[in-house]
Every structure is written in structure tokens, then in C-alpha cells.
A and B are shown apart, each in its own frame.
Chain A
Amino acid sequence: MAVSIEAPRAPRTRTTRRTTGRTNYELYGWVFMRASGVLLVVLIFGHLFMNLIDGEGISAIDFGFVAGKWASPLWQVWDLLMLWLAMIHGTNGVRTIINDYAERDGTRIVLKVALYLAFTVVVVLGTLVIFTFDPCPPDAPANLLPSFCTA
């Protein structure tokens, strides 16, 4: 009749709550998630429409198409905004999930360090690409370049 189940939680002695002092950090984070979410809906669907539906559609996407877009400051700003907002929004979301589900402090720290590292790499690399993208670098071997560079 009696089935063995996991041991009841050992009595915890929570002496003091982890406090952040008197900052509005979590408040701003909460507001940012709402605002960036709304903005991202516009940015992402605009991006999808321009890349996949407008003009020749998905078949038009190649090095030249991307280079053409990023020649315009509008798309540079659009993609930069999209990159940064999506990365901060997503990273903050995963941060709250880690806070909710990682029980031990050690696990929490390891996961968050990995998260922030991934964030930094993607954001730095992405920003660099948006502003320095060149489909036809002048000193590259001709056989590695797309066809339109030689034209």
C-alpha cells in the first residue's frame, strides 16, 4: 500500500532574503520586455515581408541582396535594432527562466555566465557584420567571390 516517494524537503532556514538594494532594475526590465516585444513584432514581420514576399521573394536572397539592403542606412538601423532588441529581450527572458528553475547558486551562476557570453558574442559579431559587410572584398581570390562581383 505504501509507495516510497522522495524525501520531504529538509527544513530550510531562510534567514535573509537576497536583496538588490533600492534599484528599479527589475521594474525597468519588466517594462522593457513589454515595449521591446511590441516593437519586435513590427520589426520582425517587416523584415520577413521585405526578405521573403516583396519583389522576387525568397529567390532574390543572395550576397548581393543583403549587401544592397545594408547599403541603405534605413536597413542598417532596422537590422541593428532588431538584433539588439531581440538579443536583450531573449537574454532577459532566459535569465528569468534560470532564476526560476535553477535551484542552486552554483548552477545559476554557470548558466548565467554562459548566457551572457553567448549574448556578447552574437551582439558584437552581428553589429560588426551589419556595418562592415562587403560581398566583394578587393583582395580576395576571384574563385571565392560571387559572380556579380566580377561583372
Chain B
Amino acid sequence: MSTEIAPETGSAEQAPGGAPVREPQAAAVASGRGERPDDGSFDVTLRIRRYLPEKDATAYWEEFTVRANRTDRLLDALHTVKWEIDGSLTFRRSCAHGICGSDAMRINGRNRLACKALLKDLDPAKPITVEPIKGLPVVKDLVVDMEPFFASYREVMPFLITGGNTPSAERRQSPEDRARYDDTTKCILCAACTSSCPVFWNDGQYFGPAAIVNAHRFIFDSRDEGGAQRLEILNDKEGVWRCRTIFNCTEACPRGIEVTKAIQEVKRAMITRAF
């Protein structure tokens, strides 16, 4: 701590006026950024699918080349484009750290969170294609209308359903019972799984992996009493039986949820209930 403070106070004492000292400092930082002597930074080209409905009814590809660090994620590159090159570029992001689930997009053909995709892992030698997630209506650039996705989510009743009187203390659960559905509690509703599913792409009628994952989270919760209702909802023609177990959703999930496995567990629960 003291070694860090000492130079600062020293420089402040050396300079008679504050402003002249700041000028060269800022310049030094700027030149350091421009040159980046051997810091591993590189140029990366983003090939972004643009759609600006107020200007043009058709979508088009646009390429931007930006300077990036080894530690930069795709989201940082998108920020650089938006803040320094083209302010009209539109995308969603909130926390920027893989928790809020806002910035799911199709990166090099795979659904990823832009804030979790490191540029150095995406082969920056070639242009990185960035598209909005598929199967949902595009609003602008990388922003899609999430309403059909959330409509399916609401349909499975993603909340605790219980009967009887509310207990005066918390509803207790053994660690084993909690572990039963632990995997599916990790969902952040980013829609990466649902929009990676070819069955969902077709007509958007299928509930989609995310809705089933969130139903799974309550169906296998020992405290919940709405399991039968949820199974009945997902037994629909457009429910779990449309799953073709192609594992796109498991591959796409940024939280590492075994989505396809969860869907199969719901199927199994339905079969044991029916026979």
C-alpha cells in the first residue's frame, strides 16, 4: 500500500500545477494503447449481421475490424464497435459477466454469451460471424423479440405450487432432495438453448428446452405439488415429445446445464406416470 501511494504523492509534489502533469500522463497512456508493445493484442474482424428496420427492410452483413487484447471477450469487441466506430450497432447486455443472460447470440454459428466468449478462443485469424439468435423475430441488429420464449416459460408455471397452510418456518428440504434438481436451477433464461433447437426454429410451436428445464426445476422439487400439472402441460403435442435428443441445447448452454438430460428425465416421469 505505502509503495503505491508514495509515487503518487511524490509526483503531485513535484508538479507545481495539476494540469500540466496530467497532460503528458494522458498522452503516455494513449500512445501505449496505440502501440501495445508486445502485449499480445491483435486485430480481429467481426462480421455482424445488421438489421436496421428504420433504414432498410433487409438484413446485411457488415464487417468491423478492431484491436483486441488476449483477455478481451466478444462483448468487449462489440463495445469497441459501438462506442468508437458505429453507434447504431444494437445489442443487449446488462451485467456483462455471464449472469443476466442478456447477450446470447450466434457466434460463428454457435449460440454463446458474448460476455463469456473469449476472442482468442474464437480463432481471430478469420472474421468472427455474429448473428442474432435464431427462431425469434429480430427487432434490430442482434436484438430479438424474446416474448415467444417467455410465453413458453410462463406456460410451465415456473413458481412453487403448494397446498395447505403456509408453514410458519421455512420449507425444509434434505440436501439429497435439493441435489435432485440442482442442475436446472442454474438457468439464466438467455434463450441460447431454445434458439439452438431446430424443432423450435421450424414453427416456434415447440415449448423449447428452456421452458422444459424450468419445469424440471419444480417437477423434481420435493416441496412442490404442481408436478402433475406441469407434466400434463408438457405432455402436449408440442411438448417434450418433439425433442429429438440432438443435444444442440446442452452444447449451447452457457451455464453447463445438461439440458437434454433434463428433458429426458421429464419424459421418463411422464412414462412412469402413464403406465
Cβ distance A34 to chain B, nearest Cβ, rounded Å: 10
Count, A-B residue pairs, CB within 8 A: 82
Q: A22-36 CB contact bits vs B (8 Å, 1 = yes)?
A: 101111111100000
Q: How far is the CB of A17 from chain B (nearest CB, A)?
A: 6
Q: For this complex, into which size category does the number of interface residues on chain A fall?
A: 20 to 34
Q: Give the nearest-CB partner of B199 in chain A.
A: A100
Q: Inside 8 A of A20's CB, which chain B residues have their CB? A: 236-237
Most B-side CB within 10 Å, residue of A2, A6, A8, A101: A8
A10 contacts across to B, CB distance below 8 A: 137
Does chain A have a CB within 8 A of B225?
Answer: no
Tell me which residues across on chain A come within 8 A of B204, comparing CB atoms: 12, 14
The size bracket of the interface on B is 35 or more
B148 at the binding interface (Cβ < 8 Å) = yes
Q: Which residues of A contact B241 (CB under 8 A)?
A: 26-27, 29-30
In the complex where A5-B49, A17-B205, A27-B271 touch, is A12 in contact with B60 (Cβ < 8 A)?
no
Q: Which residues of B contact A11 (CB under 8 A)?
A: 137, 139, 145
Within 8 A of A (CB), among B168-225: 198-199, 202-205
Interface string of A80-122 (1 = CB under 8 A from B): 0000000000000000000111010000000000000000000
B83 contacts A by Cβ under 8 Å: no
Contact between chains at B61 and A5 (CB < 8 Å): yes
What CA separation (Å) do A100 and B243 show in the bound complex? Answer: 10
A64–B185 CA distance with the chains assembled, in angstroms: 65
* Cα A2 to Cα B57 with chains together (Å): 14
A4 at the interface (CB under 8 A from B): yes
Residues of A close to B151: CB separation below 8 A: 14
| Interface flags, B46-67, vs A, CB<8A=1, else 0 | 0001110000011111110000
Seen from chain A, the residues whose Cβ lies within 8 Å of a Cβ on chain B are 1-12, 14, 17-20, 22, 24-31, 99-101, 103
The 10 closest A-B pairs by CB, nearest first: A11-B137, A26-B241, A8-B138, A20-B237, A2-B60, A3-B61, A8-B59, A8-B51, A30-B241, A7-B58
